[in-house]
A and B are shown apart, each in its own frame.
Chain A
Amino acid sequence: MKIDPIHQFNIEPLFTIGHIGNQTIAFTNSSLYMLVAVAIISLLMLASGTQLVPGRLQSVAEISYEFVASTIRSTAGSEGMKFFPLIFSLFMFICVSNLVGIIPYTFTISSHLIVTAALALLVFFTVLIYGVAKNGLKFFSIFVPHGVPGYILPLVMFIEILSFFLRPVSHSVRLFANMLAGHIALKVFAGFVAMLGFSLGALGWFGGVLPLALTVALYALEILVAFLQAYVFAILTCIYLNDAIHPGH
């Protein structure tokens, strides 16, 4: 009995679509769970009815709508509602795929850095392009904070510019690392239970109680993390977009 906490992140091609250059494009388990996430969100949002008094499914759909809308309004103002579809898509995609990924034997899309990096870069370039298109060169005033004495201004500007370009790194690594580490920890503690049970017999069954309790506790924490990281990703997107909408602040 061996614990293999990395196996759950393997990408298994289901069937191959074609090649781009020397890269093979395959429909993988990751693609399948992307499809599952899109299907769940579409089902939730489209099949939930438009009753005056909402049912359960409709309530969930409306709560998600109101939750994302109020997050945008409180962080980026009412002008930020332009990006409502984008932020809603990001939040729901990450939240649903994280929650699906927590079910045993499933795959977690956001446990791959390439996926979170792609989403973070999407946000980064949206901010950059919209900010420049809307404000012109005034957009770059976000690198010049108000009320900073002239002699340290170059240093502050250097730090601001650096932090701006490091945003996609922290944005993507935060989500990726949380999901990866959480799933590894869960797998390791759950593996201890089985390992003790198989190797030590009756004593192991008793010994397994502690890691089992830890697994249950970690599982609850991971459900929270799955939602929270989606929320953090969405709210950071709002904050970054706020720079593009109101560069004066």
Chain B
Amino acid sequence: MAESHGGAKNPAAGAHTEAEGGHGGGFPPFESSTYASQLVWLAIFFVALYVIVSKLALPKVGGAIEARQNKIEGDLAEAQTLKDQSEAALKAYEGELASARSRAQAIGNESRDKANAQAEAERKALEEQLAAKLAEAEKTIASTRATAMSNVRGIAADAAGTIVQQLTGVVPDAASVNAAVDASLKG
């Protein structure tokens, strides 16, 4: 930067000599009569600026920046706690959901087992009942048959006795008729 300005000085110096007549004086930055005024006012204004800057300006602006920083950090912390809370709630909800689901499954299993057992028991009872009825019916059939068979023997004996009487005119001995009927029934 300084070099480029150094280069720019040369035409300036030429223009300066060209304009010397209109200007009249020396080079202003080297006019020592102005030094005292400049130094006095520089001291006054720079000290004033330093006091304003150090006592008022920097505390104020720095405070504003710090307040913003604190606010941002506070907000971020709050957002973090809220996020943590919502995450915890979500986790609790998921746990609750899982336990409810497993409980529902357990209840379903239990009721199905119970229903199965009941149905099995009812079926068994019914089967037993049916078997008993069947046995009873078979017994009745057997007794009926036996009765019927004994009735047949009596009728056969009566009929045989009557037939013999009709044919021979003799009333046969009941015992021999029965024996004859039994023998023919057996045969």
Contact = CB atoms under 8 A, between A and B. Distances in A.
B64 A11 contact: no
B48 A38 contact: yes
Interface string B37-57: 111111101101110111011
B33 A65 contact: no
Interface in A127-164: none
Interface in A13-52: 13, 20, 23-28, 30-31, 34-35, 37-38, 41-42, 45-46, 48-52
B52 to A, nearest CB: 5
B9 A93 contact: no
Interface residues of B, number: 52
A6 B38 contact: no
A92 B39 CA distance: 18
A52 B71 contact: yes
A23 B37 CA distance: 8
Q: When A and B form their complex, which 10 residue pairs have the shortest distance between CB atoms, in order from nearest?
A: A45-B57, A85-B54, A181-B5, A23-B36, A185-B8, A31-B41, A184-B12, A50-B64, A9-B28, A34-B45
Given A88-B53, A115-B42, A185-B5, A28 B64 contact: no
Interface residues of A, number: 69
B175 interface: no
A100 to B, nearest CB: 13
Interface stretch (B13-21, B95-103, B131-139, B161-169): B13-21
A112 B29 contact: yes
Q: How would you classify the secondary structure of chain A's contact residues: helix, strand, loop or mixed?
A: helix
A177 interface: yes
Q: How would you classify the secondary structure of chain B's contact residues: helix, strand, loop or mixed?
A: helix
Contacts of B68: 52
B183 interface: no
Given A3-B19, A24-B33, A89-B53, 18 more contacts: A2-B18, A4-B23, A9-B29, A25-B36, A41-B49, A42-B57, A45-B58, A48-B61, A65-B65, A85-B54, A86-B50, A118-B43, A177-B5, A177-B6, A181-B5, A181-B6, A182-B8, A225-B1
B37 A26 contact: yes
A62 B36 CA distance: 35
A7 to B, nearest CB: 6
B34 interface: yes
A45 B38 contact: no
B170 interface: no
Contacts of A2: 18-19, 21-22
Instruction: Tell which of A38, A61, A187, A229 has the most Cβ of chain B within 10 Å.
Output: A38
A202 interface: no
Nearest to A179: B5
A188 B48 contact: no
Contact of A34 (B16, B22, B41, B61): B41
B108 interface: no
B29 A111 contact: yes
